[in-house]
Amino acid sequence: MSIATFGKTESPPTIDEPRYFDRLAEVDDAHWWSRGMWRIAAGLLDRSTPPNRSRLRALDVGCGAGTTAARLGERREIGSVVALDPRSEAIELARRRSSASVFLGSALELPFESTSFDIITCFDVYQHLPIGFDRRAALESFRVLKAGGRLLVRTNARRVFGGVDRDPSSGPYYRLGDLVATIAEAGFNILQSTYVNCIPAIFAEARSLVRSRRRTSDERGLTIRIPSIAINRVMKRWIAVEASAVVRLRCRLPFGHSAYVLAQKPFDDPARKAAEGDLSSRSTAFDRGNDSADEARTCGAWRIDRTPRPPFDQTRKGD
């Protein structure tokens, strides 16, 4: 059953269900939002990539259906792509849909050596982490990036007309300033940050208010539907306008249902002894056995995988 046709007879899948990733693949392939979000992401990567760079190593954290990993692999400057997800269903699908090397693992404990990658993408992951553990995810990205490497994060964003800061089905609604602070505190220099999906967010929330709709258990999960061909075409054009504003004009849009932060690990690679020391010695909550650590270990979306770290050189193209 396609996303366009599911309804009362079948509830939208949640991230804990295997069918979630099949639906996600449909959305990634056909929906204007997915294509528009990648257009913005690709533009940010284009603008921040030094000329004549090649054979860069990219990591997609929380690869889901593998769409972003496949798109990264098509970029000229990328020499190899590694993808990571804590769900075996996602890994199987990502391996079929991309040429990336795909591993089981968590954003909270990346199974790779330090300074292994030039680029990290992390899309729609932070909102699924236990509250407060987004900082650890940012620290792990900092650890495995090379000096000068870039991190591109996308998350859910706050509601235009207010509302709760966290929803059980889709995670927190980030305020852009809070997301920026989390990534900056991990040691990154912020290159650009903005809300996206601006005007569509207004229409979506206005329609919800007019209809006085309240979120119920039946509405949780991946509720997005693929619209008609005509609407899809119109929305693709609009999101292209947003992409131009964000990438070419470097605008910071004032609101939207998603947020992007593009950051860079400093070239001078400051010691960050407190953060790096915590990670290397594992003296964080994960090894102290407190309630937050237990929540992170058992969180349905982000289980910790303790498998040995794979030798990264085996993932390189053409070697």
DSSP-based three-state secondary structure for 106? strand
For the entire predicted model, the pTM comes to 0.75
Cβ-contact 23, 90 below 8 angstroms: no
* Length of the chain (residues): 319
- The fold adopted by the segment(s) 19-308 is Rossmann fold (3.40.50)
Q: Which among 122, 107, 105, 218 is positioned nearest to 169, based on CA atoms?
A: 218
d(CA 131, CA 109): 16
Cβ-contact 160, 202 below 8 angstroms: yes
Q: Express each pLDDT in 62-106 by its tens digit.
A: 998 899 999 999 999 999 999 999 998 889 889 999 999 999 999
Chain centroid offset of residue 36 CA: 15
Rg of the chain, C-alpha, whole Å: 19
Tens of pLDDT along the chain (319 residues) come to 233 333 444 666 676 676 677 777 777 777 888 889 999 999 999 999 988 889 999 999 999 889 999 999 999 999 999 999 999 888 988 999 999 999 999 999 999 999 999 999 999 999 989 988 999 999 999 999 999 999 999 999 876 555 545 444 455 689 999 999 999 999 999 999 999 988 766 655 555 555 544 444 444 556 667 778 888 888 888 899 999 999 999 999 998 889 999 999 999 755 444 444 444 333 233 332 333 333 333 333 333 333 333 433 333 333 3
Count helices and strands in the chain by DSSP H and E runs: 11, 9
Residues 6+ apart with CB under 8 A from 98: 63, 66, 67, 69, 70, 73, 81, 83
The one-letter amino acid code at 251 reads C
d(CA 307, CA 53): 32
Residue 147 backbone phi and psi in degrees, to 5: -60, 130
Q: Which among 278, 130, 255, 108 is positioned nearest to 196, based on CA atoms?
A: 255
Strands ordered across the beta sheet of 117-123: 101-104, 78-85, 56-61, 117-123, 145-156, 258-264, 189-196
DSSP-based three-state secondary structure for 65? coil
Buried b (16+ CB within 10 A) or exposed e, 99-125: ebbbbebbbbbbbbeeebbbbbbbbbb
CB atoms within 10 A of CB 190: 15
Q: Where are the domains of the chain?
A: 19-308
